[in-house]
Structure 1
Amino acid sequence: MGYKYKNNNYKSSKDLMKESGLTYDDYASIDDGNYYELAGGKLEMMSPAPSVNHQLVVYEIQKNIARSCESDYLILFAPVDVILSNTEVRQPDLVLVNRKRLDILSNRGIEGAPDLVVEILSPSTLKRDKIDKLKSYAKSQIPEYWIVEPVSGILEEYILHTEHYELFNVFQNNEQVTSPQIPCISFTMSEVMNNIPTIKDHDIE
Structure 2
Amino acid sequence: MPLPNENNIWTYADYVKIHNEKRYEGIDGVLVMVPSPTPRHQRIVTALSALFFDQLQRHQCEVFVAPIDVCLFAAKDTPLHDIKDWYIPDLIVVCDKNKIGDERIYGAPDLIVEILSPSTAKHDRITKFQSYEQSGVNEYWIVDPIHETVEIYALQDGQFRQVQMHYKDETICPYIFPSCFIALPKVFTPM
Q: TM-score, normalization: structure 1?
A: 0.82
Q: Is 1:89 aligned to residue 94 of structure 2?
A: no
Residues 89 and 44 (structure 1), Cα distance of their counterparts in 2 relative to 1, 3 Å cut: same
Matches of residues 2-151 of structure 1 in structure 2 within 5 Å?
Answer: 14-16=3-5, 19-20=8-9, 22-47=10-35, 49-72=36-59, 73-85=61-73, 86-98=83-95, 101-151=96-146
Alignment RMSD (CA, Å): 1.7
Q: Which runs of 4+ in 1 moved over 6 A?
A: none
Residues 75 and 187 (structure 1), Cα distance of their counterparts in 2 relative to 1, 3 Å cut: same
Q: Is 1:162 aligned to residue 141 of structure 2?
A: no
Check the 8 A contact 1:16/1:43 in 2, yes or no: no
1:179 shift after superposition: 2.2
Structure 1 residue matching 2:3: 3-state secondary structure: helix
1:189 shift after superposition: 1.3
Return the alpha-carbon distance in structure 2 between the equivalents of residues 24 and 14 of structure 1.
14
User: Paired residue for 1:193?
Assistant: 188
Residues 46 and 18 (structure 1), Cα distance of their counterparts in 2 relative to 1, 3 Å cut: farther
Check the 8 A contact 1:172/1:188 in 2, yes or no: no
> Which protein is bigger by CA-based radius of gyration?
1
1:18 shift after superposition: 8.3
**Which structure 2 segments of 5+ residues have no match?**
74-82
Q: TM-score, normalization: structure 2?
A: 0.88
Letter in 2 for 1:125: T
Aligned residue pairs total 180
CA offsets 1:133-169 (integer angstroms, 9 cap, x no match) = 0001001110100000112220000111233211111
Structure 2 residue matching 1:135: 3-state secondary structure: helix
Return the alpha-carbon distance in structure 1 between the equivalents of residues 188 and 7 of structure 2.
40
1:184 shift after superposition: 3.6
Residues 112 and 51 (structure 1), Cα distance of their counterparts in 2 relative to 1, 3 Å cut: same
Identity in percent = 31
